[in-house]
Amino acid sequence: MSYIVRFVETPEDLAKCHDVRLKVFSDEQGYDRSIEIDEIDSECLHWVALDSTTNEGVGTARLYKYSPTVGKIGRVAVLSSTRGSGLGRLIMEALEKYVIENTDLEKLALSSQVPRKGFYEKFGYVASGDEYPDEGQPHIYMEKTLPARK
């Protein structure tokens, strides 16, 4: 199976992001499509991963700009059928590449479930502070300083 990961620019791609999150998070966290952002804007950037054969959404990520210098990565979601395929890595690489090439952000931050901490450490994210409960799961805050722009 091969995947295409792209920055979301169409309502159709955004709908595929919602569909993925609905399938991944509905049972665990009570995902509600109605409270999601319904338009593409500069405050929340989205990436969608598509199955190259069916063009169906199989993964997604989003980035919030929450300060002039720091962006916060929302939950990276991949369908259970794609777990272990490297799709999460592809999504993170596409997100970071876009951020480095198209924004002035100096750092990326995220809140990781503690068992997923090792996944983000492979990308250079460093945990700081203590574990804290979030939606019933232990989480930890992580940050990565991006390379300096030329």
Q: What is the pLDDT along the chain (150 residues), one digit of tens a residue?
A: 799 999 998 989 988 998 898 888 765 555 555 555 444 455 788 999 999 999 999 999 999 988 899 999 987 889 988 888 899 999 999 999 999 999 999 999 999 889 889 999 999 999 988 888 877 789 999 999 998 876
pLDDT score at 149: 72
pLDDT score at 39: 47
pTM for this predicted structure: 0.84
pLDDT score at 61: 93
**CB contact at 8 A, 75 and 115:** no
pLDDT score at 56: 94
pLDDT score at 38: 47
Collapsed DSSP state (helix, strand, coil) of residue 14: helix
pLDDT score at 1: 73
Report the alpha-carbon distance of residue 52 to residue 92 in Å, rounded. Answer: 18
DSSP annotation of 30: -
**CB contact at 8 A, 143 and 149:** no
| Structure tokens, 47 | 């990436």
